[in-house]
Chains A and B, each alone.
Chain A
Amino acid sequence: MVRLKDRYLLVNILYSDLPPGHPKDAPVPDLLLYNQPTAGELRPQHLLKAIRGEVAALFGDCGAGAVDRSLQVKYLSSATSTFILRISRAHYRLVWAALAFMNSLPVGRPGRPCVYRVVRVSGTMRKVEQAAIQRAKLLMLAARDEMAGNKNTSALDALFKADKVETRRLAAPTQDQDEPDEDVAMDED
């Protein structure tokens, strides 16, 4: 039996404005601004519905049919605005494109404007989880630096550098035979 191969996407939700309940005058460090939690009503079903709708809008019936069967939300954390999608390997780019075209949360009328940023693509769930953990650790370090009053947050630098390194890696494809597509790190920027 042929192995069914998938791609796992690690996606961050980014907001450019302050959350609705936040007082306007208080200063907010950048770190917190760009890593806000999401409103509690967001459920995986909402996400799925939105993505499917977007794929259908962009790619029509053919695209919708290809993506529909294997799309799943494996993890959704509203507190950290992170979610992990699973999609079959052949059609992950459709979903990625759909995410690029989505500009608001699927909940609320209207939904809060946001950006869906794909941070990691991988062939195994484990690697995606590890990437999420790594990012969370770097953010924690940055937060600690921030709390200590150190403005030059090296952790955030590290985070961005890590992203850049991965972009460079993409340019030179790996020679890995076993699982060539396993750890393809991509960055949207």
Chain B
Amino acid sequence: MERPRTLPSFDGPRSVRRPAQNASAQPAKRSKLQDARHIRTQPPSAVLEDGRLDLAKFLDSRKVEIDALETSMQKCTSANNTRAFQQVPRAMRRRTASHNPKRVPRRLRDRARHEQLSSNAPTVEARKRRPKTTRAHLRREMAKICDSQGDSHRHATMTESGQEDDPNTCDAQGEGLEANNSVGDYMINKMQKHAGPRLPTHLWHKKRAFIPAKPYWGFSIPQTPTEKCYRATHRASTQQGAVVWDMTYMSTIGLEGVDDHIKRLLEECVPEVGSFGQQWRAGKRHETFRIHKKVNGSWRFVCPATMIWNPDFRRSAQPEKPRKVFIRIHPSCFEEVHDYLLAVIREKSLPLHIEDLRFEVGSIELAGSGSTEALLGVLQPYDDKDGTEDANVRIFKSFNAFTEPSVLHTGALLAFGIKDPRLAYPPKNILASKLNTATAVMDTLANWAVEQGDPKPIALFDKDCRMRASLHPKSVLDPRKSNDIAGQALPATPHDRPIPIMLLASSGAVTYGNSQAMRPGVWTLLAPWDCVLSIWYSLVHYPLSGGNNPRFGGLDEYRQVLAEQQSPWFPGDFPTTDAGWAWELQQRQHRGHVWSTLPRGKRVAFESVRLGAARQGEEGSGHACDWEYLIDLQGFERRVLPKDQPPIDLMNADDFNSKLQLKIRPPATSTIIASIRLVGRGVVRECARVYRLPDSTSPLREQWLQQKETKKPWSSAQKASNASGQTRRGLILKSLLETERPYPKPAANVEDIGAHPICPNSTELMGFVTTGQFNLSQGRPTAIASLMAIKALEALWNNPLSDEGKYCIVRNVGESVGWLARWEAYISG
């Protein structure tokens, strides 16, 4: 009997395994599938007892048959329902995998091909499609003609440049392609869905992340990756791996002027500018400080900023030569800061030049233990000779993969030129090559050669260098690659200009109360806008030594990483600033909108929230951190403020401590930022209400404090476990006689709120939570909140001896139940 010539059949025989029809298919994998279709059977001897028919055995045999049939049915359902591309982990799935078997991992390709044929999926490959109708044929011909006409406009001609240039300065006269960085180019089409200017990596992110249509702070910023990555981000940023963010939306302001004038400008912005050191002024380190505005003689906090001076070696010869400074701030307050600086410049008639470099300098941030490794693997210094004079390059090359940014001194800064990362694409793992020893790294860190001697000027500050660094288009690079040896990096020719970059290391130390925690630091890589994308590709394709590539993150992941370090995020956790207040107003609107789109049965009815003790209705607006409500509660007259000005002010940590000690009452609208850690159960989210513990006159206080730990009635007997048996018995008897009846004590509020302590009154309302989540680093829920300074101080004053003033109760908006927590004032970090 000849073999029927059919496609490999999945409906293999059930009681017997046949060899696969298609000899080329892997028989081992097929048999797995056939197992699903194999129904177990019993031999007939199991039904006969000594050759006799038996009722009991008959019964059993039917039972076995039913089981076997049902199992086989179940297995078949699952085996039949899944397609090959559904067996692929979510991160590796590609959209067109259903009709393009090449997009599926190799082991599943045969199966995918078969499924494609047996289902209704189109099997034509677009590029191999031959036109069938006359019309289609004509269209194809026309398209070819138009294409060839376009080619002649595309390539720029390159001229030879004979000079060897120092990659870190731009005195060279090499020719490069002209870059056009005008802002207009980034608003390509008014009809685009994303109205904001795009980041350089926009298209890459668009395929992998959700980008909201309404731009944040003027930019289309990815909100979160499409796949679920909460835990993966946590692991990559704290344990093993790396996370990268495209932070090109962070604004850069360039200042140019003489040292003295810049110093006078800064005195108007930063109260403590005098305390920053000489190294920073010389341009060897970067510093992060808070910009303030002088309003009616007092300081008002605007935003945190990072400032970098350009070291100019000619300075020693000409001290009055103007220098450049970069100020990096969050885009939400760019206009505010820019206008304020301009106003100060005009007011004091300082001969300073202020520049908007938002679309010229881009940045990438990296976090996680693999971040240094990724940078070492991707950034190839242009000046690659071993005995190079550039201290920055020497230091960078002396790092090893385990040098974390937190290990470096604060404000560590490296600036050098790199080769186009596309020349060495795909990036190779650096651990394959020789690694620097730990002692060598220690030497580097101890000496930090950059700070010895006069540093060279940083090329990134020079507009010419930024412009000239624009890269060759792919069509120029590809022929070079195809002509060269496969697998090797392309050598850099004089036509390949060095890309000026800056690496900033942030230690990420966060200070709260009496404690300071060292967190894993963050690398910030500054580069010209046009070069960010090619660096990005190499970074996200770099093979980390622990496996995987660096993960990318969106805004949510950035906030998550900061929240896990319990570091407040600007602007969201600073509602006292204009930018933070604008964020809060926007979030209110967003929450209100989302709430209104839900049907009435599925949304929280804030007016009927029961808070226990016959109180009904949410405190303040349910969509908001209702500061206006809180201020009204205190009986303080609200000043009539313009709509975009926050009703609250930020109090300095030093100020808070001094008022605490001297017992001075702060102004009623001052707030502090606090970190909150829950003691037991519960999770707090944004807008949660924070209450103090009620004072000792109320029995509620004890109920709440009991949430901490419960003491067992015979713990004294346990402590006396070393005592003799008689003593122990005596102790046990004593505890039995002394426990209150009824035992166990019935919890309070059983009818009211389900045996949970009820929330304190509105007089104890301290503030609101601005960021809250379950903190995977801490293993307990944490939050960052803004608290009224007066309430916080009162809580501390009323409990001078114990730490009970630091306890608070946090209740999510719309919920009845509060959770016990501890708060700590945030100082810095």
CB distance A132 to B69 under 8 Å?
Answer: yes
CA distance A132 to B41 in the complex (A): 13
The 5 closest A-B pairs by CB, nearest first: A21-B51, A37-B44, A79-B42, A37-B47, A32-B53
Interface-central residue, A36, A39, A78, A84, by most chain B CB under 10 Å: A78
CA distance A72 to B1 in the complex (A): 13
Assuming A35-B58, A147-B56, is B66 touching A137 (CB within 8 A)? Answer: yes
CB distance B53 to A79 under 8 Å?
Answer: no
Looking at the complex, which one of A29, A44, A144 makes contact with B13 (CB distance below 8 Å)?
A44
Interface size on A, residues (CB 8 A): 49
Q: Cβ of B128 < 8 Å from any Cβ of A? A: no
**What 1/0 flags go to B30-51 for Cβ under 8 Å of A?**
0000000001011111111001
Contacts of B48 in A (CB 8 A): 19, 21, 37
CB distance B62 to A140 under 8 Å?
Answer: yes
Contacts of B4 in A (CB 8 A): 69-70
A-B contact sample (9 more), CB < 8 A, given A40-B45, A133-B69: A21-B51, A28-B53, A32-B53, A72-B11, A73-B14, A80-B62, A133-B66, A137-B66, A144-B59
A-contacting residues of B (Cβ < 8 Å)? Answer: 1, 4, 11, 13-16, 39, 41-48, 51-56, 58-59, 61-66, 69-70, 72-73, 76, 117-118
Q: Cβ of A22 < 8 Å from any Cβ of B? A: yes
CB distance A77 to B41 under 8 Å?
Answer: yes
Looking at the complex, which one of B1, B15, B54, B117 makes contact with A73 (CB distance below 8 Å)?
B15
Assuming A43-B16, A78-B41, is B53 touching A19 (CB within 8 A)? Answer: yes
Chain A stretch 20-59: residues in CB contact (< 8 A) with chain B: 21-23, 26, 28-29, 31-33, 35-40, 43-44
CA distance A84 to B52 in the complex (A): 26
CA distance A73 to B62 in the complex (A): 20
Assuming A32-B53, A86-B11, A143-B55, is B73 touching A126 (CB within 8 A)? Answer: yes
Assuming A82-B65, A144-B59, A147-B56, is B51 touching A40 (CB within 8 A)? Answer: no
Contacts of A140 in B (CB 8 A): 59, 62-63, 66
**What 1/0 flags go to A55-94 for Cβ under 8 Å of B?**
0000000000000111011111111101010100000000
CA distance A92 to B48 in the complex (A): 34
CB distance A78 to B43 under 8 Å?
Answer: yes
CA distance A116 to B70 in the complex (A): 24
CA distance A37 to B46 in the complex (A): 9
CB distance B53 to A36 under 8 Å?
Answer: yes
A-B contact pairs, 12 of them (CB 8 A): A22-B52, A29-B55, A32-B53, A32-B54, A32-B58, A68-B1, A74-B11, A77-B41, A79-B42, A79-B44, A79-B65, A125-B11
Looking at the complex, which one of A74, A75, A79 makes contact with B61 (CB distance below 8 Å)?
A79
- SS class of chain B's interface: helix, strand, loop or mixed? helix
CA distance A23 to B54 in the complex (A): 12
Chain A stretch 123-173: residues in CB contact (< 8 A) with chain B: 125-126, 129-130, 132-133, 136-137, 139-140, 143-144, 146-147
Tell me, rounded to whole Å, the shortest Cβ–Cβ distance linking B17 to chain A: 11
Looking at the complex, which one of B46, B59, B65 makes contact with A132 (CB distance below 8 Å)?
B65
CB distance A74 to B62 under 8 Å?
Answer: no
Tell me, rounded to whole Å, the shortest Cβ–Cβ distance linking A75 to chain B: 4
Tell me, rounded to whole Å, the shortest Cβ–Cβ distance linking A149 to chain B: 11
CB distance A73 to B13 under 8 Å?
Answer: yes
CB distance B51 to A19 under 8 Å?
Answer: yes
A23 — nearest CB in chain B belongs to which residue?
B52
Contacts of B44 in A (CB 8 A): 37-40, 78-79
CA distance A157 to B782 in the complex (A): 68
CA distance A76 to B47 in the complex (A): 15
Tell me, rounded to whole Å, the shortest Cβ–Cβ distance linking B28 to chain A: 23
Contacts of A146 in B (CB 8 A): 55
Contacts of A33 in B (CB 8 A): 53
Tell me, rounded to whole Å, the shortest Cβ–Cβ distance linking A170 to chain B: 24
Contacts of B76 in A (CB 8 A): 125-126
CB distance B15 to A75 under 8 Å?
Answer: yes
CA distance A43 to B16 in the complex (A): 9
A139 — nearest CB in chain B belongs to which residue?
B62
A80 — nearest CB in chain B belongs to which residue?
B65
Tell me, rounded to whole Å, the shortest Cβ–Cβ distance linking A58 to chain B: 19
CA distance A40 to B41 in the complex (A): 12
Tell me, rounded to whole Å, the shortest Cβ–Cβ distance linking B525 to chain A: 54
Contacts of B43 in A (CB 8 A): 40, 78-79
CB distance B51 to A77 under 8 Å?
Answer: no
Contacts of B63 in A (CB 8 A): 136, 140
Looking at the complex, which one of A36, A70, A75, A130 makes contact with B39 (CB distance below 8 Å)?
A75
A144 — nearest CB in chain B belongs to which residue?
B59
Tell me, rounded to whole Å, the shortest Cβ–Cβ distance linking A41 to chain B: 10
B15 — nearest CB in chain A belongs to which residue?
A76
Tell me, rounded to whole Å, the shortest Cβ–Cβ distance linking B124 to chain A: 14
**What 1/0 flags go to A84-106 for Cβ under 8 Å of B?**
10100000000000000000000
CA distance A23 to B48 in the complex (A): 12
CB distance B14 to A75 under 8 Å?
Answer: yes
Contacts of B61 in A (CB 8 A): 37, 79-80
Contacts of B11 in A (CB 8 A): 72, 74, 86, 125
CB distance A32 to B55 under 8 Å?
Answer: yes
CA distance A161 to B72 in the complex (A): 28
B70 — nearest CB in chain A belongs to which residue?
A133
CA distance A79 to B69 in the complex (A): 14
CB distance B55 to A74 under 8 Å?
Answer: no
Assuming A39-B44, A40-B44, is B66 touching A136 (CB within 8 A)? Answer: yes
